[in-house]
Amino acid sequence: MRKSIAHLTLSTTPGKTIAAAAKAGFDGAGIRICGRFVGDDSFQDIIGDRTEITRLHALTRDLGVVISNISAFQFYPGLTRDHLKGVVETAAGLGADTLVVNCFMKGRDEALSLFAAYDEMAREAGMRIALEFLPYSTVRDLAEARAFIKDSGASVSRLLIDALHLERSGGSVDDIASLDGGEIAFWQICDARQRNGAAASDDQLMREARTARLPLGEGDLPLRALLAALPADLEIEYEVADASIRHLPEEFRAKAAMEDLQRFLAMVSADAN
C-alpha cells in the first residue's frame, strides 16, 4: 500500500510538498501545478516551466518520493483542450501517472467532451485520470461519477474516493464494497463530525472540505469499515489540513500527518489480530 500526502494537507508549492513528504516518510506526494481554474493565480503555476519541471523531477528521484497525483485545472468554463494538453505534458515531464479531475461545468455535454479528450491525452502519455466527485460540484456523488466516466467513453479514467465527500454526498461503505476494485484510482482519508440538522449549502461543504477536516479518530466517519471495504493494496492519501498546526512549517505538519496515519493503521492492524 502506497502512503501519500495530499496537496491540501500542506497547501504549499510542489517543491516544498515533495521535500516535506520525504522527510516525513511518505512514499508519494500529491501536488498542485496551477490554479483551480483558468486565470486563478493563487497557486504556483509550473505548466510548461521546463526548468522547474526538471528540478522537481530530479528532486523526487533524489529524495525517493514519487509524485503520486497531480491537481491542475478543475473543469470550469473557459477551460480548453490546449490547457489540458499543457497539463499532460507537464505531468509527463514530472514523471507522474495520475491526473485529478473535479467538474464544475454546468453543461454536461461540454464537460463530457472535454473529459473524453483529457482521458485520451492521458492514455497516450501513459497516465490515467482520477475523477473525484464533490457534493458541491456538478459531479456530486458516486453514482454520478460512475455515469460520467461511462458516458464519456473514457478508457483510463478511474474513481477517486474521498472519505468526507462519500459521506457528505450520501454514500456508504456498502456502495464502495459493491465496486470493482479496478474502478478506483486511490482514496483519501480524513475524519469529520456527523452533520445534524439542516442540510449544508455548497459553500459550507466546500469550506469544510478545504479547512475543517479532522485527524483520524476525532470524528465520526466509518474509516475502519471503509478501509476494510477497499482493496488492500490501494494507495491511501492523507488529506487533513489541520487548522491547529497550519502556522507551523511544512516539515512539521507532514510528520504530524504521517504519525496520525501510522497510528490509525496500527490500531486497525492490532484490532484485526
| Averaged pLDDT, 136-156 | 98
Give the C-alpha separation, 172 to 176, whole Å.
Answer: 7
3-state secondary structure of 106: coil
- Structural domains counted in the chain: 1
Q: pLDDT digit string (tens) for 73-108?
A: 999 999 999 999 999 999 999 999 999 999 999 999
Closest CA to 261 of 38, 33, 51, 26: 26
At 111, which CATH number? 3.20.20.150
| Averaged pLDDT, 145-170 | 97
Q: What is the pLDDT of residue 273?
A: 67
The average confidence (pLDDT) of the chain is 95
Which residue segment(s) compose the domain that 176 sits in?
3-272
pLDDT confidence tier of residue 31, bands split at 50, 70 and 90: very high
Q: pLDDT digit string (tens) for 121-142?
A: 999 999 999 999 999 999 999 9
> What is the pTM (predicted TM-score) of this model?
0.95
pLDDT at 272 over 80: no
pLDDT at 229 over 80: yes
DSSP secondary structure letter of residue 227 = H
Give the C-alpha separation, 273 to 152, whole Å.
Answer: 44
Q: What is the pLDDT of residue 139?
A: 98
pLDDT confidence tier of residue 194, bands split at 50, 70 and 90: confident
Q: What is the pLDDT of residue 254?
A: 97
| Averaged pLDDT, 219-239 | 96
| Averaged pLDDT, 51-74 | 97
* Backbone phi and psi for residue 100, each to the nearest 5 degrees, phi listed first: -85, 140
